[in-house]
Structure 1
Amino acid sequence: MSATSNPLAAATSAPPRVQRTVNANINNFSAGLTRIDPRPYAIVCMHIGPSVEVTCDRGGKLRHGREVAGDLDIVPAHTPAAWETKQSGTTLVMRVPDELLRCVAVELDMDPSNIEIADRFQLRDPFIEHIGWAIKADLDSGGAGGRLFRESLGTALAARLLQRHNRRSLPMRDPKGGLSAWKLKLVISHIEDNLESELSLAEIAKVAGVSVSHLKTLFRRSTGTPVHQYILRRRVERAKLLLQDESLSIAQIAFATGFAHQSHLARHMRKILGVTPAAARRDLAHPHVAEQAANI
């Protein structure tokens, strides 16, 4: 009797494996118009580059604002979208399969046949932001985290979208005891626009309109990260973007991102990204290595 006609074999065969990962890539865009045709899956875009002025047309709804690092756009499935920017920039694009959302909905005791992800523009969600940076780090490392790590990130992202970003969820509120959304954007915009400068806590606190001690507490509650660590990461991430420009030396990039010297940049890049600037530049020159990890 063949295996296909054996009732016991048919009964014990494994069910099809559900894709628990999201497909992700880093998108460097030029100033001008970018369009996305309707897709059969939800898209989460996280801004990771310098600040840009953007006008967004999504499903016929026009919005305008300043996009800073960590800002999120959520585009529901089957929704056309267009962005017009005045500057070039960089985003992390995460595509969330419907089958992943349905699977996680069942685990959350939600109706998998009634999923409606909400349309969000320039949202701040520290939970998704941390997931996004973890996905980017895995992309940068060529997928060193492994499949289990990528599946855990995919499941966490899907759960957050279902719980806080569906059409029936309660509106997002500012973190308790943290900076208001508009003050946080002011602070992050100031940091992003002055990464090459010697930023001080007193200067940033003045932007927020609070004392230095209060700033440290509020900023950490809003972002989950101390101010100085946030600035270091943003400097390292900006330096990594600049490494794509081979006309710039590593020493020039270090000064352009607020580091005292080249070894200062190398020490922090190794600590945060796990690579030296020279190694990161080599990796950027061979993008096919990173593309192998695009199924995050």
Structure 2
Amino acid sequence: MKPEHQYSDALGTPYLAIPRTSSSRSATRPAGTTPPTVNEVRIFDADVLVKRSEEWAGGKAVLVDRQPRAELTKFAHCLKRHTIALHVEGANTSATLKYDDGKQSVTGSTVGQVMLIPARHHLEGFADYSSKVRHLLLTLDPQMLDREYDDTADFDTLDLPYRPNLNDGVIAGQMRVLQSELDRPGPLSRLFVESLCCEIAVRSLRICTRRAPMRISSGLAPRRLRLVKDYIEANLSNSITLADLAAIANVSCSHFSRAFRASTGIGAHRYIVRQRIEQAKQLLTEGKMSIAEIALAAGFGNQSHLTTRFRREVGTTPARFRNLA
């Protein structure tokens, strides 16, 4: 078992004193103002049993199993990023919480409950967790959400409200899908995780602020869409990230996700899977490479993953498709 401080270090959040901030309501700081300096802290008094994570520009997802050390587990949280946390397993029956300089409150949580802790705000307390607890933590750069209002918005202008329970079935479902992807990662996981986290971020923004993000109706400009498709076609055998595609289109990641869907009718992850399937079909028809070699050339990582995806998309196995071709 690994001590919890190693997990804290992995998030870049050492044990430090936490400067408090008194605001707990949603607000937008004036443009050009500098956000308050904060020393990050992530303390959870438990041993880490298993940890899986995926990180990209603007965010990180961590699935962590922990073993409490005592009857009451102490915790403290203050990050420069917004945090969305899903209680996956071992939900506490009672917790005493204090947010910023507010009063202590006694509450409980259930499996499937989703909490939002805004960036630069302090949450501390203790809870009577069971013998094992599993959490999914999604940390999001504030800039990622700021740009949902305006692609030219100043960094860190949005101050979200603290929500101990988002009480949204869609976000809870998306977090469960994210959990499954971290539990069983595949060669295409990163792009899927990035896209899913963008969807979670946009919906959380809409719920917490009651303001709709920028409307994406016309999709990407034809020239930018062609550049993106050409890049995908030329890199099917390589790892393709959402950040790569967004940079080519010269928009934010979350803007790109919605604009690409508006242009093509499907998400970027789904589009790339289909292109890789088409590449595999062409190579299978040519008959010059083994199925294992085709799996690598088409970007599926291994033959098993290709077979699973191929059967799902085409309705048959690569070997049977080659025989029929």
Shorter-chain TM band: 0.3 to 0.5
Q: TM-score, normalised by structure 2?
A: 0.33
Higher fraction of helix: 1
Q: Which has the higher contact order (CA 8 A, sep 6+)?
A: 1
